[in-house]
Amino acid sequence: MYTERTPEQQKARRNRFIALAVFACALLVALGILLNMIFASAKDQGAASIRSTILDAAMQCAAIEGSFPTNLAYLEDNYDLRVNHDDYVIIYEVLASNTAPSVVVMPR
C-alpha cells in the first residue's frame, strides 16, 4: 500500500542524498590528489634512476676510453643508453674530459 511521504520525510531524504553526493565528491577529490602524488613520486624516482644510469654509462666510458664523453648523444650512440627525452629534461655538462660530468634530470 502506498503512503505519501510527509514533508519531514522528504526533507530528510533530500538531506541524505545531498550528504551522499558531497561525500562522493570529496572521495573523488581525495582519490585524485592521492593519484597525483603517486605519479609525481614515480616520476621523481624515474629521474633519479635515469641520472644514475647516465653517470654509470659515463663512468664506463671513462674506464674504457680514458676520458668522459663530451655529450649525452655519444653515450646514446656508443654505449646503448636509452633515455626518454619526451618525459624528462636532461642537462649534461662536462667541464673537462678528466672530470665527471654534471647531470641534472628533471621530469617534464
Name beta bridge partners: 105: 90
> Is 84 part of any domain?
yes
Is pTM, for the whole model, over 0.75?
A: no
Q: Which three cell numbers stand for residue 57?
A: 654509462
> Is 96 part of any domain?
yes
Q: Give CB contacts under 8 A, 24+ apart, made by 16-23.
A: none
> Is 65 part of any domain?
yes
Please report, in angstroms and rounded to a whole number, the separation of the first and last CA atoms in the chain.
Answer: 64
> Is 71 part of any domain?
yes
The count of other CB atoms within 10 Å of the CB of residue 61 is 19
Q: Domain residues for 75?
A: 7-107
> Is 1 part of any domain?
no
Residues 47-80 pLDDT 10s: 999 999 999 999 999 999 999 999 999 999 999 9
> Is 88 part of any domain?
yes
> Is 2 part of any domain?
no
Structural domain count, the chain: 1
Per-residue pLDDT at 21: 96
> Is 87 part of any domain?
yes
Residues 19-55 pLDDT 10s: 999 999 999 999 999 999 988 888 889 999 999 999 9
